[in-house]
Structure 1
Amino acid sequence: MDQQLPTSLSERCQWCLAPEQTNHAPGEFVLYWMHNALRAHENPALDVAEALARQNGLPLLIYHGLSEKYPYASDRHHAFILQGARDVQREMAAAGYAYVFHLERAGHRGAHLRDLARLAAVVVTEAMPVAPLVQWTERLRCITKTPIVSVDTTCLVPLSVVADLAKKRHSKKNAAVDLGDDLSEFDLEQIEPWVCRAFRYRDLTAASYDERVARPYDLSQAMQDDHVDASELPEPYVGPLGFEPLDLQDACLARLIGQCKIDHTIAPVPDSPGGSRAGYARWEAFQENGLHAYDQRRNDSADPLGGSRLSAYLHYGMISPFRIAREAFAASGNTEADGENEPAIEAAIQRIENPAVKKFLDEFLIWREMSFHFCELHTETLDTLDACPDWASESLRKHADDEREQTHDWETLARGKTQQTLWDAAQRSLLRHGELHNNLRMTWGKAFLPMTKCPEQALCSVVDLNHRYALDGRSPASYGGILWCFGQFDRPFAPESPVFGVVRTRSVAEHENRLDVKRFSDRCDRPIAATLPRVAVIGAGIGGLMAARTLADHGLDVRVFDKSRGVGGRMATRRGDGIPSFDHGAQYFTVRDDRFARYVRSWIASGKAASWMGRIVELRPGGEIVAEKRSQPRFVGLPAMNSIAKHLASDLDVTLGCRVAQLVREADAWDILDESGESRGQFDLVVTNCPPQQSAPLLQGHTELADVIAGVEMVPCWTLMIHCDGLDDLPFAGAFVNEGPLRWIARNDAKPGRAKSTPGHASSWVLHASEVWSAENLEADAEWVRDQMIHAFELMLGRKLGQVHHAVTHRWRYANTREALPQNCLWDPSAMLGACGDWCGGPRVEGAFLSGAAIAGAILRRFTVDRPAADSHGTIAQQCMQ
């Protein structure tokens, strides 16, 4: 394969698998795998792909896929990327390129990148030295024989140039060493000192930045200078793809995102829409309103013009860093016209007289690109303390056992509920608006050390929350800011401090003294969209509570109604004077989905849940144990199953003992009427979290969803709660039963956190009848049901019960779903009505939780993504500068 490239491109290329290293058969086209340079202009990876296609007489295909499986995938990140893809699709079409986009979602999954790569002559992609892209590129190299070249589209000075400069410095200090031009013989570890301290990196690269900062991005001239033909575009590839490309121009992004298996609890950010148009609008607005005073305003986190707020657009390559640097340098006044539109450098960057531009360029070039190159050398350890200097990691570990004033679980941190005013406001900025001012991010990040149990947990938490919520999360520049909090790019500070050791401290309280906290908090608490609805949630089960809390955390006004005396629905606990408590609904919950798992881990850490390690068996009549049930781990709430629901409802506006009987449309609002006909308030939007047989009548006549809901069949279950003598010696804590009236037996006081009975004393048990028996006896007398279930219990155990101190039944008319709907929730945006529950998407506690998250996501997308697209840069600029 012909690999002739101009120097301006070849210096940016790193072959992951070179053509001479593989026996790959000649391919059908050149494949450009796009993921982090979402632009058709000033894009070195596109230029490399185009040059290789032209030189080898092959068509060019640009493939851009968005996976459900990247870390922290959410509605927020998906929306930003999809909006950017919409812009690049338009730009590619105008330029005549073959650009295809694939969105992984239900019904549209497959290894399309792998299949296309196997057909290609070469794969060109962008260098992005963070997970999962490094791992995905390596996997692609392993499962195909296709040559792969990675291209730096981010830095003015690529790593090969930095390595060459470091080699020359090394040679000067070691005159006897002559490495010639072979960088492969130069240990890349010797570059590390130059990319770990800004003053060293600045010194090493100063001349290179001076040479490049004002250089026009003129590829055609560079190719002519290197005698490379660039007369016309290569032919676009028009062959089979193996999937139907997605046209994003008229697509409903909100609906598409809802079909993806991602985190729906994190809303898109409407005042930071993705795409080149929005990115450049923000840059132009900053040039006009903020750049001139950047040196004076950059540390004021309450000032919306204190920073450029370009980091997310740079992360995904929606804007050209070459253009930003070029135009910023031009704003310094250090250029003079030298011919038509060709600036000539009259002064080096370090001699720029404009302090605002000088500081901006120092952070934009030195700190941002140094972080990028650092990540290139540490891709495998970025999420660990091993990425930090030895002095920092050793000192932090030395102080790992130092006393912390108060530690917090993940959920408390994620929701900004630590009771530290400034820190919580900073976290709300991340949660609601997807951004955090860089100066405050340093204070926010260091605060994790005293708020978590050890430095490893602190780093894990700061990485999680930054990457999960920030639009620039997972970018190398973002890693640079995070790792600085743990000593990277810094020096030791003596004497040692508690918890921090010799790592620089940065107090939240001290930061509060130099910031207008109220002004900053007001900015963080601004509405996430121009209009937000007042929401009513009917039903305080797990699904309804999760939906309500997600919406409330994003600043919406939400009120929850439930007919019961307590929250939790079927995740219920029965208590009474002088009797034990009984978990008479859901007996435990399991975890299959990562989106649910992180909450469960947090509940365990905060003492709200625990693993139930009791012996679970399969039982036959007579007490015969026929099998052990050792499936996935089981979890229970502490001290009762409804503790999880109480936790989710703890800061919500919940009205109990209110049976909603009717929804009445009044103008543009829904009037909630109770059984007596009294209005309980008017709301813009209503979500039902009730069994289908209760949701359908409420929604009937208002939306076609009612007919879908009415078709869902629920099955009943009779439950017996019994406290009796003579069973404390049974060799199991729970049993599945496949014969007779019963289906489940559990010793309630054997669960974690429950009051334990002592040997020879009474024990408490919960029995669930089978679906068939419960249905046959649905309207039977409760006392008769009690007696029948006690008799079945004795037959199953093969023994008589001792003295019965308490025995009462409960009828769950709608206990389980016979077959859940395939949708995770139901949402009618025209009627502003929705429904959720474990009868959507999947059964169990986890299913209800994810259904609640899904309806919250659908609502949030309605007000953050489904909005009229801006037709002018001025309108976008107004959004971007809010």
Structure 2
Amino acid sequence: MRGHENPALDVALHLGRRWDRPVFVYHALDEEYPYASDRHHTFILEGAREVAAELARRGVGYAFHLARPGHDGPHLLTLAGQAAAVVTEEMPVPFLRRWTERVRAAAAGPLWTVDCDCIVPLPLTRAGTTDRAFRFRQATARLRRERIERDWRDAPPPEGGPWIPDDLPFDPVELADADLAALVASCRIDHSVAPVPHTRGGSRAGYARWQAFREKGLRSYHRRRNDPLKDGVSRLSPYLHYGHISPFRVAREAAAEGGDGAEKFLDELLIWRELSHAFCFHRLDPDGLEALPAWARETLTRHGGDPRPVIHSMETLERGRTGSDLWDAAQRSLLIHGELHNNVRMTWGKALLPWSRDAGEALARLLELNDRYALDGRDPNSRGGILWCLGAFDRPFDPPRPILGRVRGREVEGHARRLDVAAYTRHTTRPALDPAPRVAVVGAGMAGLAAARALTDHGLHVRILDKGRRPGGRMATRRSREGWMADHGAQFFTARDPRFARHLPSWVEAGVVAEWKGTVVRLVRTDDGVLESEPARESRRWIGTPGMQALPGHLARDLNVHLSRRVVGLAQDGRRWFLRIRDEGAEMAGKGASAPDVGSPDVEWEEGPFDAVLFTAPPPQTARLLESVAPDLAARVARVPVAPCWAAMVEVDGRVDLPFDGAFLPGPILSWISRDSSRPGR
């Protein structure tokens, strides 16, 4: 979205003049788009702030809606039902196509989609020319020559000035002075994927990056573009993806520069990029294997049963922990910086086929890794690059090889021999924030471990402190001297939130989580005092295996965890924080800690400085620590209700003959009973 050189906006403005109707721009950000996260939300909002200001200067009415709790609703459908016409962008990705069709069905008048991304508009391309770059280049040459150097003149503003409906069905967000971080935090999205502070959204940042590349990189682009250790590429893809900069202006100015570097850059921008857009435009499902050429589907199917050297879990892949130094460095570039050098991206993508069970799984994983972390994710251009890894836009290579078949190979090991992998790793694993903040996490339960893991994976320095002897908090299993086991903390967990549920397959694969399929009922008391059973709420229940601590132990495995460390004080010095620590008298299970007389009770010392402290301990404990430095926050924490409970572990001789393995009881004394021996690993 941008307020200049925007074909969809110009169509709407011309239509408004022709029909004598006001023009209104509705700009919204939903929580339901694929892989919605702090990273994507922040970049979009930074761009939207500039769009609001730009349209105000042009005299075009504009309102922004941010979906969040208390601010939901089908507002676009409502507005479409009141509009004389709807004009929107043609973006050939499946989820936007589905949304556009919903709007078309609700619209009172016609709906037009306008290509805002390509020099050669998508409706003027032919499906038969989108299988290979050379065919597309030849087929679009005349249209490209005619259009590349055209000056752009924005349509004149509406004659009546900016117009906004009086009866908007939502409260617009005033972006000019909004706290964008607070808005993002209020949304129900993935908060474990952080914004990229060195790549801000918006036209100003995008054109500043383009101008720097024009001056220092464009002339040598043809020589330097394949080396990820040289600053030889434009890094414009996020701004092109979100429409923050005009591809027409970029192409026009690159053509004016001339030379071998500009020629190669334009080949990437206007041939390969627009080929991917046209390819997706002419296919119903560009995200599936059916998008591949027939020869690629045939050879991948034929070799689908070939033995794989290793099948990595998604958790291993996402975190860049495969053990392949180059691949892991590439993935960390995506995770931390939201970008991946195109030459490395090809090697990164090709590696997934041998590490996945079949081509379908490899494609799904590539799309998820790219779309979740890359700022240019969910774009036709990145779709094209991923599909190329599986044979699209390419020819077959003979003789066939194991796993790949006739698909072009590109081994990670071979690429690593041509690159200083250690230097590349230092480059990609550098923190997005410089210097990297130091964070203390108080509490090594599930919340503390999950937060610490996300922060650590983004390159921050994190130290976890917990008073217990092992990580896990309420995720606890007791083993007796006689050998029986009992879960005396959390009894099970469910996974109703997709942001959490997506991790389950990896944990099951790692052997630290299993589904508990025992019979669970709810006991209700009838009017005459008799307990009767009814099925409990239908839900899949999960447990740690062989004990509940297995999952937190897995999460803590490569984190900086310090156990038997009770935080007894908190002090502030400017923007820095210091913790007062007391040794609880047990060995530490962490790395890099320094403390006097480890294992000696009642020894205290100070640790710090920290740039931030994250408390995940129970509210009463947290409130006491905050009282002296943040009394208002301490008061809020103290008001959080806490419902303590007792857990009784009972061993009986023989099996208790009951028709269930777990039951919710009406109380008032007992609320839950469970047969622990019915659980996997117990």
- How high is the TM-score relative to the length of structure 1? 0.73
3-state SS, counterpart of residue 291 of structure 1: coil
The answer to whether residue 375 in structure 2 is matched with residue 449 in structure 1 is: no
CA distance in 1, matches of 2:159, 2:363: 47
Structure 1 partner of 2:618: 691
Q: Is the 8 A contact 2:486 2:676 kept in 1?
A: yes
Q: Distance in 2 between matches of 1:326 and 1:534?
A: 45
Tell me the equivalent position of 1:316: 242
Indicate the residue corresponding to 2:195 in structure 1: 268
Shift of 1:233: 4.2
2:170 is aligned with 1:243: yes
Conserved in 2, the CA contact under 8 Å of 1:50 and 1:233? no
> What pairs up with 1:155-554 in 2 under 5 angstroms?
155-162=118-125, 191-218=126-153, 233=159, 235-240=161-166, 241-303=168-230, 305-332=231-258, 354-378=259-283, 380-554=284-458
Contact 1:385-1:456 within 8 A present in 2 as well: yes
Q: Deviations over 1:157-196 (max 9, x none)?
A: 112322xxxxxxxxxxxxxxxxxxxxxxxxxxxx333011
Residue 110, structure 1, aligned to residue 45, structure 2: no
Q: Is the 8 A contact 2:85 2:107 kept in 1?
A: no
Number of the residue aligned with 1:635: 542
The percent identity for this pair of structures is 51
Once residues 144 and 650 of structure 2 are traced to their aligned partners in structure 1, the CA distance between those partners, rounded to angstroms, is: 78
Which of 702, 706, 715 is residue 634 of structure 2 equivalent to? 706
Instruction: Verify: 1:720 aligned to 2:648, yes or no.
Output: yes
Query: Contact 1:620 / 1:739 at 8 angstroms: preserved in 2?
Result: no
Aligned-residue offset at 1:729: 4.2
What stretches of structure 1 of length at least 5 have no aligned partner? 1-37, 163-190, 221-229, 333-353, 755-882
8 Å Cα contact 2:94-2:285 kept in structure 1: no
Q: CA deviation at 1:728?
A: 5.3
1:101 is aligned to 2:64: yes
SS in 2 for 1:62: strand
CA distance in 1: counterparts of 2:319 and 2:91, whole angstroms: 30
Query: Counterparts of 1:597 and 1:83 in 2: how far apart (Å)?
Result: 30
After superposition, what is the alpha-carbon deviation per residue over 1:310-365, rounded to whole angstroms, capped at 9, x for unaligned? Answer: 11101111111111111111000xxxxxxxxxxxxxxxxxxxxx221111111110
The Cα of 1:643 is off from its aligned counterpart by 1.1
Quote the residue 2:599 is aligned against: none
Cross-structure match for 1:45: 8
Question: What displacement does 1:624 show?
Answer: 6.3
Cα deviations by residue, 1:823-859 (Å, 9 ceiling, x for unpaired): xxxxxxxxxxxxxxxxxxxxxxxxxxxxxxxxxxxxx
What are the within-5 Å matches in structure 2 for residues 646-661 of structure 1?
646-661=553-568
Deviations 1:793-846 (A, max 9, x none): xxxxxxxxxxxxxxxxxxxxxxxxxxxxxxxxxxxxxxxxxxxxxxxxxxxxxx
Distance 1:232 1:103 in 2: 26
CA deviation string 1:609-662 (max 9, x = no partner):
121111112347999652122511111112221111111111111111111111
Question: Residue 106 of structure 2: which of 120, 143, 150 is its match?
Answer: 143
1:681, CA displacement in angstroms? 3.8
State the shift of 1:714 in Å.
1.1
Query: Aligned partners of 1:683 and 1:431: how far apart in 2?
Result: 24
* 2:93 corresponding residue in structure 1: 130
RMSD over aligned Cα atoms: 1.7
Please give the residue correspondences for 1:716-795 in structure 2 after superposition, counting only pairs within 5 Å.
716-727=644-655, 729-739=657-667, 741-754=669-682
SS of the aligned residue for 2:401 comes to coil
Conserved 8 A contact 1:54-1:234: no
In the alignment, is the contact (CA less than 8 A) between 1:617 and 1:625 conserved in 2?
no
C-alpha contact 1:68 1:261 (8 A) present in aligned 2: yes
Secondary structure of the corresponding residue to residue 233 of structure 2: coil
Aligned to 2:594: none
Q: How does 1:516-595 map to 2 (within 5 A)?
A: 516-595=420-499
Q: 1:620 to 1:61 in 2, by over 3 A?
A: closer
Query: Which segment is superposed worse, 254-263 or 568-577?
Result: 568-577
Query: What's the CA shift for 1:106?
Result: 2.0
Distance 2:678 2:298 in 1: 43
Which range moves more in the overlay, 578-587 or 116-125? Answer: 578-587
Query: Residue in 2 aligned with 1:64?
Result: 27
Q: Tell me the alpha carbon deviations over residues 767-810 of structure 1, each in whole angstroms, 9 at most, x when there is no partner.
A: xxxxxxxxxxxxxxxxxxxxxxxxxxxxxxxxxxxxxxxxxxxx
Q: Distance in 2 between matches of 1:232 and 1:409?
A: 55
SS of 1:50's partner is helix
> C-alpha distance in 2, partners of 1:630/1:94?
56
The 8 Å contact of residues 157 and 208 in structure 1, kept in 2 or not, is answered as yes
Amino acid in structure 2 at the alignment position of 1:306 = G
Matching residue of 2:36: 73
Q: Please state whether the residue corresponding to 2:503 is helix, strand or coil.
A: helix
| Residue aligned with 1:591, SS | coil
Structure 1 position 710, deviation (Å) = 0.6
Q: Hey, what's the Cα distance between the residues in 2 that align with 1:232 and 1:656?
A: 66
Give the match's secondary structure for 1:102. strand
SS at match of 1:718: coil
Give the whole-Å Cα distance in 2 for the aligned partners of 1:411 and 1:541: 19
Q: Quick check: 1:57–1:234 contact (8 Å CA) kept in 2? A: no
For structure 2, the 5+ residue unaligned runs are 583-601
Contact 2:4 2:154 (C-alpha < 8 Å) held by counterparts = no
Do the aligned residues in 2 keep the contact of 1:430 with 1:469 (CA within 8 Å)? yes
Report the counterpart of residue 678 of structure 1 in structure 2: 605
Aligned residues: 657
* Aligned-partner residue type, residue 638 of structure 1: T
1:674 offset after TM fit, Å? 2.5
Distance 1:219 1:248 in 2: 24
Give the 3 Å change call, closer, same or farther, for CA 403–231 of structure 1 in structure 2.
closer
Q: Secondary structure at the match of 1:724?
A: coil
Distance 1:112 1:630, change over 3 A: closer
Distance 1:505 1:623 in 2: 70
8 Å contact kept, 2:27–2:64? yes
- Determine if contact 1:573/1:642 at 8 Å carries over to the other structure: yes
User: Larger Cα Rg: Structure 1 or Structure 2?
Assistant: 1
Deviation of residue 523 (structure 1)?
Answer: 1.1
Show the counterpart of 1:827.
none
Equivalent position SS for 1:448: coil
Deviation (angstroms), 1:715:
1.6
